[in-house]
Amino acid sequence: NAGVTQTPKFQVLKTGQSMTLQCAQDMNHEYMSWYRQDPGMGLRLIHYSVGAGITDQGEVPNGYNVSRSTTEDFPLRLLSAAPSQTSVYFCASSYSVVRTYNEQFFGPGTRLTVL
């Protein structure tokens, strides 16, 4: 199993550009999520999905879109990049939020800089 994979590892954008961060998992997990991690702020939930075709907003959704057309893939789209979106982005997955034993598996992260 590859686990959770993310591409790209690094990205530099100019203000106003759009891009998609890719996330895939091969563990047949129902739940997938996107976080951003900023110094002193910890991990903050952007969007999440409890299954294919179902997505919802997390704590900091503004400026980001997601879709979940398959169980495996959960891309994150930046519509019009802003310097405030400079961060490290992590994708995570787990079997199900409601399972009793419910660890999240994280990808390696994407370091995004917006100039």
Partner 1 sequence: SQKIEQNSEALNIQEGKTATLTCNYTNYSPAYLQWYRQDPGRGPVFLLLIRENEKEKRKERLKVTFDTTLKQSLFHITASQPADSATYLCALNTGNQFYFGTGTSLTVIP
- Do residues 77 and 61 make contact, with C-beta atoms less than 8 angstroms apart? no
CB of 36 to partner 1, least distance (A): 11
List interacting residues with partner 1 (CB under 8 A).
4, 31, 33, 35, 40-45, 48, 50, 56, 58-59, 90, 92, 97, 100-109
CB of 88 to partner 1, least distance (A): 9
CB of 43 to partner 1, least distance (A): 4
Instruction: Choose between 33 and 85: whose C-beta lies nearer to partner 1.
Output: 33
Instruction: Choose between 14 and 98: whose C-beta lies nearer to partner 1.
Output: 98
Residue 7: which of 111, 79, 110, 85 has the closest Cα? 110
Buried b (16+ CB within 10 A) or exposed e, 7-23: eeeebebeeeeeeebeb
Instruction: Choose between 16 and 97: whose C-beta lies nearer to partner 1.
Output: 97
- Do residues 93 and 29 make contact, with C-beta atoms less than 8 angstroms apart? yes
Instruction: Tokens for 58, please give them.
Output: 């997390």
